C-alpha cells in the first residue's frame, strides 16, 4: 500500500501515539488525515480534518463511517488503561471500560469501515496492541486482558478481510514515552520511532510489527519452557 495515495483515519489522535501517527502520515504526504477524538477541539494539529469519535458510542462510529467514505487506512489507536489488578475493588468496572474501548471499539470500527475499505481498493487496518497481549502484568491485569482480546480480534480480522484485499497489521510494543506511561520509571520507546516502523510495514505489506526488544523477546518466549506468559513481566 502506498501512503501517498492513502486517506487515513486515526482514532485517539489528540495525544501520544495517535498524534505521532498523524504527524508522520502528514509528513509522508497522504491525501488526507481524519484526526478523531471524543472532543475534536483537543486535536491541536494543522492540515487535518477533525472528527468527533468516541469509539464506545455506536452512533459516533456509524457517523464516522458515513462521513469518511474515502478512507483507505484505518488506525485503531484509541485506548485506555485503568491500572487495575483482577482482584482489586472496582476491577469488573475497569475491565468493562477497557474492553469497550480497547476491544469492542476496534471491532466496531473495523466492521463499519470494512465496506469503505473494500470500495477504496482494500487498504489496511492497523490495530495498536501491546506486549501485554501476551503477558499479564498484575498492576494492569484487566488492561492486559483487553489487549489479549484485541490481538485475537486482529488475527481473526486478518483472515476475514483477506478476500477483499484489506491488510490487517498488529502493532506490539512495550512502554512508550506517552501520557499513559508517565508514572512508570522504566525504559520507554520513542513513539515517533514506533510509528516509523508501522508506516514502513504498511508500505511493505507486512502484517505485524514488534516495535521493541521486549516485544520480540516475549513473542519468542511464547514457545519456551516455561513460556513467557507464566511471568508477570517483572522477571
What's the confidence (pLDDT) of residue 177?
Answer: 67
Residue located via cell numbers 487535518: 48
User: What is the architecture of the domain spanning 3-230?
Assistant: 3-Layer(aba) Sandwich (3.40)
Residue located via cell numbers 481473526: 156
Rounded CA separation 48/36 (Å): 10
What's the confidence (pLDDT) of residue 202?
Answer: 98
Split the chain (235 residues) into runs of 10 and give each run's mean pLDDT.
Answer: 96 96 98 97 95 98 98 98 97 98 98 98 98 95 98 98 98 78 66 97 98 95 93 60
The HSE-up count of residue 207 (CA atoms within 13 Å, CB side) is 13
Residue 119 CA from chain centroid, whole number: 23
What's the confidence (pLDDT) of residue 122?
Answer: 98
Domain chopping of the chain, boundaries = 3-230
What's the confidence (pLDDT) of residue 179?
Answer: 60
- In degrees and rounded to multiples of 5, residue 156 shows phi and psi of -70, -40
Q: 226 by DSSP, 3-state: which?
A: coil
What's the confidence (pLDDT) of residue 33?
Answer: 98
Rounded CA separation 233/141 (Å): 11
Amino acid at each position: 500500500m502506498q501512503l501517498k495515495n492513502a486517506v487515513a483515519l486515526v482514532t485517539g489522535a489528540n495525544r501520544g501515539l495517535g498524534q505521532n501517527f498523524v504527524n508522520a502520515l502528514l509528513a509522508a504526504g497522504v491525501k488526507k488525515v481524519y484526526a478523531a477524538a471524543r472532543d475534536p477541539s483537543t486535536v491541536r494539529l494543522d492540515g487535518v480534518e477533525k472528527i468527533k469519535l468516541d469509539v464506545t458510542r455506536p452512533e459516533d462510529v456509524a457517523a464516522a463511517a458515513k462521513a469518511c467514505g474515502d478512507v483507505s487506512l484505518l488506525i485503531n489507536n484509541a485506548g485506555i488503561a485503568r491500572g487495575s489488578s483482577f482482584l482489586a475493588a472496582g476491577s469488573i468496572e475497569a475491565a468493562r471500560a477497557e474492553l469497550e474501548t480497547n476491544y469492542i471499539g476496534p471491532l466496531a470500527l473495523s466492521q463499519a469501515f470494512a465496506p469503505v475499505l473494500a470500495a477504496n481498493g482494500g487498504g489496511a487496518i492497523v490495530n495498536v496492541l501491546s506486549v501485554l497481549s501476551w503477558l499479564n502484568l498484575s498492576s494492569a491485569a484487566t488492561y492486559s486482558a483487553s489487549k489479549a482480546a484485541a490481538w485475537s480480534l486482529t488475527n481473526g480480522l486478518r483472515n476475514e478481510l483477506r478476500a477483499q484485499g484489506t491488510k490487517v497489521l498488529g502493532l506490539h510494543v512495550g512502554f512508550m514515552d506517552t501520557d499513559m506511561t508517565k508514572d512508570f520509571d522504566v525504559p520507554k520507546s520513542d513513539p515517533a520511532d514506533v510509528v516509523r516502523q508501522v508506516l514502513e510495514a504498511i508500505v511493505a505489506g507486512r502484517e505485524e510489527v514488534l516495535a521493541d526488544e521486549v516485544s520480540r523477546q516475549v513473542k519468542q518466549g511464547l514457545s519456551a519452557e516455561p513460556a513467557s506468559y507464566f511471568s508477570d513481566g517483572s522477571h
